Amino acid sequence: MERENNIERLIQTLKDDDELVKMQASELLEEIGEPAVEPLINALNDDDRNVRKGAARVLGIIGDERAVNVLIASLKDPSKWVRRETSGALGNMGDPAVEPLIETLNDDDWRVRGGAAWALGKIGNKKAVEPLIKAMDDESGFVRGGAAWGLGNIRDERAIEPLKKALNDKSSFVRRVAEDFLSKF
């Protein structure tokens, strides 16, 4: 009972205005691990977006498969910040997250699209190659950088030409990512 109360207090601390306090609460929840999963899943429905965002991040770090479906549902959260954090968290959840993350490459917010691109690269499933190639044409350098990194990390032959094209991208970051991965093919 005391542990549950402590977990709940830590989750509510994610509302704090002080970023350091929120970071410390997140770290403690990460250390608690598995016993914090169910309360964190419940926190994804909290009224406060900072609680939902923090819960998504910690669930991604813990990596418990019970969180996969609720995190996928959180990709539809009204807050772009929650959707962004959720897309990153799903990068730790493996293949079940691939299709929802591919869909998220079409989100209205560039941060969310970029988070999805980076997460798909982290998962490394070849189903993401064609959608990531398409994301290389995104207006946002963050999204293009995530797509380039994802393609390079997946290491599929279909990525070579889009990465070569990215050597002329207007973003120096995208150019560097493409150059780095092309040198490893």
Q: How confident is the model at residue 125 (pLDDT cuts 50, 70, 90)?
A: very high
23's enclosing H/E stretch is helix 19-32
Q: How confident is the model at residue 3 (pLDDT cuts 50, 70, 90)?
A: low
Looking at domain 96-185, which CATH architecture does it have? Alpha Horseshoe (1.25)
Share the mean pLDDT of the chain. Answer: 93
Enter the pTM of the model: 0.89
DSSP for 63-115, written as a single string: T-GGGHHHHHHHTT-S-HHHHHHHHHHHTTS-GGGHHHHHHHTT-SSHHHHHH
CB atoms within 10 A of CB 77: 20
User: In the chain, what percentage of residues exceed pLDDT 70?
Assistant: 99
Q: Comparing 1-93 with 96-185, is the CATH topology the same?
A: yes
Q: Is the pLDDT of residue 14 over 90?
A: no
CA distance 138 to 160: 18
Question: What is the tens place of the pLDDT at every residue in 152-174?
Answer: 999 999 999 999 999 999 999 99
Q: What pLDDT is attached to residue 17?
A: 82
Domain boundaries, the chain: 1-93, 96-185
CATH 1.25.10.10 fits 1-93, yes or no: yes
Question: What is the tens place of the pLDDT at every residue in 83-116?
Answer: 999 999 999 999 999 999 999 999 999 999 999 9
CA distance 97 to 61: 15
Distance between terminal CA atoms of the chain?
Answer: 54
